[in-house]
Amino acid sequence: MTAVSSPPRTIRIGSRKSQLALVQTHWVKEQLQKSFPQIVFEVHTMATQGDKILDVALAKIGDKGLFTKELELGMLNQEIDFAVHSLKDLPTNLPQGLILAAITERENPADALVLNEKYKGQQIEDLPAGVVIGTSSLRRLAQLRHRFPHFAFKDVRGNLITRMAKLDAGEYDALILAVAGLERLGMSDRIHQILPPDISLHAVGQGALGIECRGEDTEVISLLKAIEHQPTRDRCLAERAFLRDLEGGCQVPIGVNTEIKAGQLTLTGIVASVDGQKVVKDVVTGAVTNAEALGTELANILRKKGAKEILSQIFAEIQRSSATNL
């Protein structure tokens, strides 16, 4: 008697509904489908709290899981098998039962200057006093206020297409956006300048995708390892350890930069006050095999230089804003 083989498992992939999230998620699906053609992969979309609240600045909401909680509940409730995140949106402490199973190869993690047509051809250093720069990131805001105190800054929310429409309509003179997001949406032609690290250190995990799943799901974990990029994982684990040790959330002005050369990982980190007046910055280098330890080491260095006091003031302000917005 011939044994009846069981049908292949259907793997359900969770994603936010935004255009960028779907582009990223379908890229992951395509990569996995190439490696495992016998498996069925389905994309399931969910709206997160961060997608629903568009009239309040992200920093004032005060929730570290703004773009991830609903997807994480979906995994814990067995509704989806794994979720694709922009790694910069994924908190460094995950819910019990979930793990960061894979990190994909990083795109350019830098920030980009995108200008209204009237400033076409200019660099950020050339812009006149009083120009209105749009950003929803405290990290970008703090660093740019430090370097360019003569600019005006205004919060901007909505997906990338919405933000660009506001820029083109003249509500803003410029936007600061992630290079990776613009490139993934085929909008790299809108980048006027890629900001160097001495102007803006990027967000922890920026440019990489983080794939989260249930820690007990060994089958899914083994599949996801096929699309992991180890150098990116090493860099991002160092960055995330640095952020976690400083108890910083996604909406805290902490920036990083990492590079790997000849087995050595160099991690640069910055903590800045929102007004840009106080900045602490340093760098560590060590074996790439000690990536997370390097992140912790840098956090300790910056804490001794005053990072703890800066972050305590910011956390207190976020808590006050969160209470106001309840």
3-state SS, residue 162: helix
Contact yes or no for 39/223 (Cβ under 8 A): yes
The C-alpha angle with vertex 110 and arms to 64 and 100, in degrees rounded to 5, equals 40
Are β-strands 209-214 and 193-194 bridged in parallel, bridged antiparallel, or unpaired? unpaired
Contact yes or no for 24/104 (Cβ under 8 A): no
Backbone φ and ψ for 147, nearest 5 degrees, come out as: -85, -35
Enumerate helices (H) and strands (E) in the chain, giving the number of each: 11, 13
* 3-class secondary structure per residue, 97-119: CEEEEEECCCCCCCEEEEECHHH
Contact yes or no for 139/255 (Cβ under 8 A): yes
H or E element at residue 178: strand 174-178
Alpha carbon distances (Å) from 44 to 36, 209, 224: 19, 17, 17
Could you give the residue numbers annotated as active site?
A: 89
